[in-house]
Amino acid sequence: MNIIVCIKQVPAKDAPLSIAGNWIRESDIGFEMNEPDSYALEEALRLKEKHGGEVIALSMGPERVKQTIKEALAKGADRGIHIADDNFAQLDPLGSAKSIAAAIKQQKHDLVLTGLQSDDKGFGQTGVLLASVLDVPHATIIMAIEVDGQKMRLKRELEAGWFQHIECPLPAVLSIQSGINKVRYATLKGIMAAKKKEITTIARESLGVSAELTQKVEKIYVPTKTKKTEFLTGTPKEVASKLVEKLKFEARVI
């Protein structure tokens, strides 16, 4: 079973963001693997361990995203594909999906996995759009995958504590829900082995995809506050007693 996992590199969780127009100043911060995608990678590795085949880690972006591909290789992915585009932050979800789909089509594969959404733009559309462009079935917010020949039995999470089983033929695209598994760490052996693994770089322009915008992020900004927050300051002890006072006599909730 050959699985392609789409992995995005996003600003590190604690990175201080400095806004520059409709994106952020990238030079100031560190980047890391998009956490929801790490669950998709883990699921791919588990499926490979069970059913054989190979796991391809695919990521789009500037040179820096190779580091994230290397991390996936260290965890056990067999090879990597880097769709190189310095300007990829300006793509919209459909343009991204068309580009990724074009690169995926060049690879023999049975299954494509994505995370649920990215922690940067958070559109959460890549998986669904990939399936649409590749013309294969899809399912999202997946909590369990059982492969049975040419079809899968999936557990989808719905809202308010509901779930649903669905049956889906292969090939397909699945968006994996965070928390589906416990993500592994790369071992030293894995990190060493990754050095010998291949990363193929494809220039995004060479894919011949028109990425005309269907929507445009005009600008990003710090949201305006809707509520007036009263900040309490002092030593932990002072803060604690102030807060108890407030909750008791002002908010009257305790």
Partner 1 sequence: MKILVIAEQRQGKWNNTSFETLAAAQQIAKDTSSAVSALVIGKGVVGLADELAAKNVAEVLLVQHDLLEAYTPDGYCMALSQVIASAKPELVLFPHTYQVRDFAPKLAAMLGKGMIGDCVGYRNEGGKLVFVRQMFQGKTAADVTFQGAAPWFASFQAGAFRSDLVAAHPSGKAPVNLVTVDLKPEQIRTKPLDLFKEAKSAVDLTQAPLIVAIGRGIKAPENIPQAEALAKALGGEIAASRPICDEGWLPMERQIGSSGQTVAPKLYLALGISGAIQHVVGMKGARTIVAINKDQNAPIFEIADYGVVGDIFEIMPALTEALEKAK
CB of 61 to partner 1, least distance (A): 16
Which residue, 191, 192, 198, is CA-closest to 81? 198
Interatomic CA distance for residues 221 and 185, integer angstroms:
35
CB of 192 to partner 1, least distance (A): 28
Angle at 168 between CA 166 and CA 170, to 5 degrees: 160
Q: Please list every residue from 93 through 112 that binds partner 1, using CB under 8 A.
A: 93-94, 97
Question: Residue 60's beta-bridge partner residues?
Answer: 83
Binding-residue total with partner 1 (CB under 8 A): 82
* Distance between start and end Cα atoms, the chain: 57
Q: What is the DSSP letter of 133?
A: H
Q: Which of 121, 134, 204, 211 binds partner 1 (CB under 8 A)?
A: 121
Q: Which of 6, 100, 177, 194 binds partner 1 (CB under 8 A)?
A: 177
Name the pairing type of β-strands 199-203 and 172-176. unpaired
- Does residue 67 touch partner 1 according to CB under 8 A? no
- Positive or negative torsion for Cα 142, 158, 8, 104: positive
- Does residue 17 touch partner 1 according to CB under 8 A? yes
With beta carbons less than 8 A apart as the criterion, state whether 83 and 58 touch.
yes
Query: DSSP 3-state assignment of 110?
Result: coil
- Does residue 164 touch partner 1 according to CB under 8 A? yes
- Does residue 52 touch partner 1 according to CB under 8 A? no
Q: Which of 29, 128, 191, 199 binds partner 1 (CB under 8 A)?
A: 128
Residue 77 structure tokens: 């992915």
- Stretch in the footprint of partner 1 (CB under 8 A) among 26-34, 139-147, 185-193, 199-207: 139-147
CB of 23 to partner 1, least distance (A): 9
Residue 199 structure tokens: 């990363």
- Does residue 203 touch partner 1 according to CB under 8 A? no
Of 192 and 247, the one with the shorter C-beta distance to partner 1 is 247
- Does residue 87 touch partner 1 according to CB under 8 A? no
Q: Which of 62, 90, 120, 190 binds partner 1 (CB under 8 A)?
A: 120
